[in-house]
Amino acid sequence: MTNNINTLPRSDDVVIVGGGLAGLFCALKLAPRPVILISAAPLGQGASSAWAQGGIAAAMAEGDTPEAHAADTVAVGGGIVDEAVALGIAREAAPRIHDLLAYGVPFDRDLEGRLAVGREAAHSARRIVHVRGDGAGAAIIAALSEAVRRTPSIRLIEGFVAEALLTEDGAVAGLRLREAGDAAAQPILLAARMVVLATGGIGHLYAVTTNPREASGSGLAIAARAGAVIADPEFVQFHPTAIMVGRDPAPLATEALRGEGATLINGRGERFMAARHPLAELAPRDIVARGVFAEISAGRGAFLDARQALGARFADRFPTVHASCIAAGIEPATQAIPIAPAAHYHMGGIAVDDRGRSSIDGLWAGGEVSSTGAHGANRLASNSLLEAVVYAARIADDIAGRTTPSPAR
């Protein structure tokens, strides 16, 4: 049900800020416990999760293991991945995928009815579960938004942003909210003892980004101003293959294209990644992004070439990327796609423990706004949606374990 914000009771409801994957999943996992879910944009819009094209990394195929997944996660993380955290999220992947299936997410299946798994850079196995090729994020957010709207215990407040986290004696006391996009609007104070921030990343602070406007770092900022410990804020991941057609945000050309054999070439038609890394186009994302940047800086330009690998199958296999190309006048079955690196994901964030608890009593953080230790300095592709659902479920469990509200503050 949707409420007018002025009618909200000051209660012990859990307040979740953010309508992306972590926020929606946590709200659903908390049901039937009352939850107030605040989203800056109408539900289903304005969340980076909805734009994710790859899918969710999950070691569910025969012969693959969570241990192999965790080892790949550690290998790309620049030496600072927390190995126990990486193994933890890899082990909880399968149950969370089953939760998403139960919420109605139509993951692609193979001819035998098993979940179909794709390959992405720096994964040693095919382990990315996906929807309609490159539509995982949109399909997941659509299914969960629908489930949230059907859940009576979730009060949905759309069109409001949290502009301050209020604390008293070092513990959460509430939020100051304001209507999104109206700096002159009267702020509204909402008393709350339990707040979950799931506000996404900071990508839109950058000139070239794959992130929506709402990814402005607001959740990180209000937590920092309230005194929460922030970890690794310097680690920002650039996606190597944003489509350069003058759009903001820059449309993404998913890494799964390279998993299916698409190559990277410069304006002279030369492949340039093989000389930079033994895995060539499937090298870790930071290395590929640097390779693309070097070609562009040298004036040679950079292109993603799927003509041989996919050709006429492109539209069918990657409909989202195909539509972005066609809108820009590029037919990727017969033309190489102009690309550049773009700010894509923030590995740093509000430092949280293995239950998603921040350093402030009563404040949890999940999804991109948090820093769990899973990604180190460089996130492995398709680990972000996984981390979001794993931690959202853990946060819900942790909150459910708090049978009585914290003592009066």
Q: What residues are labeled active site?
A: 285
User: Does residue 198 interact with ligand SIN by CB under 6 A?
Assistant: no
Tokens, residue 177:
């909210």
- Residue 130 or 394 having the CB closest to ligand SIN: 130
Q: Which is nearer to ligand SIN, 121 or 223 (CB)?
A: 121
DSSP, residue by residue, 326-368: HHTT--TTTSPEEEEEEEEEE--EEE--TT-B-SSBTEEE-GG
Among 256, 280, 336, 351, binds ligand SIN (CB under 6 A): 256
Nearest CA among 167, 221, 183, 229 for reference residue 199: 221
Least distance in angstroms from the C-beta of 365 to ligand SIN: 19
Question: CB within 8 A of 197, min separation 6: which ones?
Answer: 17, 18, 162, 165, 219, 222, 223, 350, 363, 364, 365, 366, 369, 370
Smallest gap from residue 128 Cβ to ligand SIN (A): 8
Site string for ligand SIN, 207-246 (x = CB under 6 A): ----------------------------------------
Contacting ligand SIN (CB under 6 A), which of 39, 48, 49, 53? 53
Q: How near is the Cβ of 155 to ligand SIN at its closest, in Å?
A: 31
Instruction: Give the residue, chosen from 22, 27, 52, 89, that forms a contact with ligand SIN under the rule CB under 6 A.
Output: 52
Residues 347-386 binding ligand SIN (CB under 6 A) are: 381-382, 384
Measured CA angle at 323 (ends 319, 325), to 5 deg: 120
Q: Report whether 107 contacts 101 (CB < 8 A).
A: yes
Based on CB atoms, which residue is closest to ligand SIN, 13 or 255? 255
Instruction: Please report how close the Cβ of residue 27 comes to ligand SIN at its closest, in angstroms.
Output: 23
Instruction: Provide, rounded to whole angstroms, the least separation between the CB of residue 12 and ligand SIN.
Output: 36
Question: Residue 235 or residue 345: which is nearer to ligand SIN going by CB?
Answer: 345
Closest CA relative to residue 19, chosen from 205, 170, 149: 149
Binding range to ligand SIN, per CB under 6 A, among 62-70, 99-107, 253-261, 290-298: 253-261
**β-bridge pairing 370-371 and 349-351:** parallel
Three-state secondary structure readout of 210-277: CCCCCCCCHHHHHHHHCCCCEECCCCEEEEEEEECCCCCCCCECCCHHHHCCCEEEECCCCECCCCCC
Q: Choose, by CB under 6 A, the member of 82, 255, 368, 387 that binds ligand SIN.
A: 255
Give the binding site for ligand SIN (CB under 6 A): 52-54, 254-256, 344-345, 381-382, 384
